[in-house]
């Protein structure tokens, strides 16, 4: 049964942008919110996502546009000036495009552990509302996913949304696909709606942020001949931290039998082996997390439990990472 709700400003659409990477459930979250708005809140709604070249691990934006029932939504343009932005991975805040177009009166929700305040927040308008929730931890506790937590926080942030209608849509979406996950998602949703923190004085900017319209770096007239990469060695400095979904493989050397099975399945060859000339056996030393995209194939393959899945908490990468190219690492000063 639908319950009529009113948008804050009935003369324009209310627009929400979800900033994520593939694999964290932002597309499904957008579908659930828009479905609830249309079928259970008597609103008009539209939802679509844009993906990178590869879904899991690449940047994903999901757009939700809501309007009154008597106002058709005829545009499918990306949302450039959102009323609310939800960030599914805090490392995305390093990129100005993540918060581009943020309205001065808008709301930004990001996931991060307590006490973490990414520097990218300072780009926000000083008048915007900024909310932090540890979606990764709550999802891990409840054996759910961060999207259920973040939907809960968004619903709490936007009181015009009917929380029970959204929770019903969330439960219905999972009742079809994974009925065993319904109760866990409901708990994650309710915790997301309660366990958030509103950060004061996070933003330093004035007024609405400018919109961002990327243009190609090279066109047909300016591309290097033969499509060569003019910046050799760029992969050595690749930072894939934003391509991970918040989980890392962690090696316990005491359990490792150095069988090499993890290395055979790793798509990015980021496992580091010892190269001591006086040792007959090469030994697994650890993981270079600059290249690791957190696919966890190594974890699934390891027969001894020596490499396990751990939540990516601040400082873990710096503490446990083993560089594949230590000379290069030192030369560039880390």
Among 296, 313, 320, 322, binds ligand SF4 (CB under 6 A): 296
In this structure, what DSSP letter does residue 86 have?
A: E
Distance between CA atoms of residues 60 and 50, nearest Å: 6
Query: For residues 230-269, which are near ligand SF4 according to CB under 6 A?
Result: 249, 251, 256-262, 265-268
182 binds ligand SF4 (CB under 6 A): no
322 binds ligand SF4 (CB under 6 A): no
172 binds ligand SF4 (CB under 6 A): no
284 binds ligand SF4 (CB under 6 A): yes
Residue 91, Cα to own-chain centre: how many angstroms? 8
Distance between CA atoms of residues 245 and 115, nearest Å: 20
282 binds ligand SF4 (CB under 6 A): no
223 binds ligand SF4 (CB under 6 A): no
- Using alpha carbons only, give the angle 146, 147, 150 rounded to the nearest 5 degrees: 85
311 binds ligand SF4 (CB under 6 A): no
Among 5, 95, 297, 308, binds ligand SF4 (CB under 6 A): 297
290 binds ligand SF4 (CB under 6 A): no
In this structure, what DSSP letter does residue 13 have?
A: -
Distance between CA atoms of residues 159 and 175, nearest Å: 26
Q: Which is nearer to ligand SF4, 57 or 146 (CB)?
A: 57
Q: In what order do the strands lie in the sheet with 129-133?
A: 43-51, 59-68, 14-21, 84-87, 107-111, 129-133, 196-199
Q: How far apart are the first and last CA of the chain?
A: 58
Total binding residues toward ligand SF4, as defined by CB under 6 A: 29
Nearest to 99 by CA among 256, 205, 255: 205
Among 128, 135, 170, 270, binds ligand SF4 (CB under 6 A): 270
Q: Which is nearer to ligand SF4, 38 or 302 (CB)?
A: 302
- C-alpha distances (whole Å) from 155 to each of 118, 130, 208, 232 are 23, 14, 23, 47
Smallest separation (angstroms) from ligand SF4 to the CB of 311: 14
Candidate ranges 91-99, 101-109, 300-308, 315-323; the one touching ligand SF4 (CB under 6 A): 300-308
Contact 109, 154 (CB under 8 A): yes
208 binds ligand SF4 (CB under 6 A): no
What are the tokens at 216?
A: 């190609």
Question: What is the contact surface with ligand SF4 in residues (CB under 6 A)?
Answer: 249, 251, 256-262, 265-268, 270-271, 284, 287, 292-298, 301-302, 304, 306-307
């Amino acid at each position: 049964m639908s319950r009529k709700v009113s948008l804050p400003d009935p003369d324009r659409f209310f627009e929400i942008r979800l900033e994520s990477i593939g694999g964290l459930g932002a597309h499904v979250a957008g579908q659930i919110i828009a479905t609830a708005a249309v079928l259970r809140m008597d609103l008009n709604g539209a939802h679509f996502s844009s993906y990178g070249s590869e879904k899991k691990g690449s940047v994903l934006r999901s757009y939700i546009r809501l309007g009154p029932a008597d106002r058709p939504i005829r545009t499918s343009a990306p949302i450039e000036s959102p009323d609310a932005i939800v960030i599914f991975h805090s490392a995305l805040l390093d990129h100005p495009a993540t918060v581009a177009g943020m309205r001065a009166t808008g709301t930004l929700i990001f996931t991060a552990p307590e006490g973490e305040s990414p520097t990218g927040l300072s780009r926000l308008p000083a008048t915007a509302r900024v909310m932090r929730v540890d979606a990764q931890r709550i999802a891990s506790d409840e054996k759910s996913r961060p999207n259920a937590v973040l939907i809960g926080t968004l619903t709490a942030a936007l009181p015009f949304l009917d929380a029970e209608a959204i929770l019903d849509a969330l439960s219905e979406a999972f009742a079809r696909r994974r009925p065993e996950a319904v109760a866990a998602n409901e708990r994650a949703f309710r915790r997301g709606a309660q366990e958030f923190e509103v950060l004061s004085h996070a933003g330093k900017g004035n007024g609405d942020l400018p919109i961002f319209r990327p243009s190609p770096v090279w066109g047909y007239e300016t591309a290097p001949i033969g499509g060569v990469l003019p910046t050799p060695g760029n992969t050595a400095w690749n930072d894939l931290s934003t391509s991970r979904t918040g989980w890392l493989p962690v090696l316990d050397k005491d359990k490792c039998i150095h069988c090499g099975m993890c290395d055979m399945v790793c798509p990015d060859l980021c496992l580091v082996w010892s190269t001591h000339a006086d040792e007959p056996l090469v030994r697994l030393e650890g993981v270079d997390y600059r290249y690791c995209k957190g696919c966890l194939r190594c974890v699934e393959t390891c027969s001894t439990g020596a490499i396990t899945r751990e939540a990516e908490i601040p400082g873990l990468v710096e503490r446990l990472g083993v560089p594949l190219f230590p000379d290069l690492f030192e030369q560039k000063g880390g």
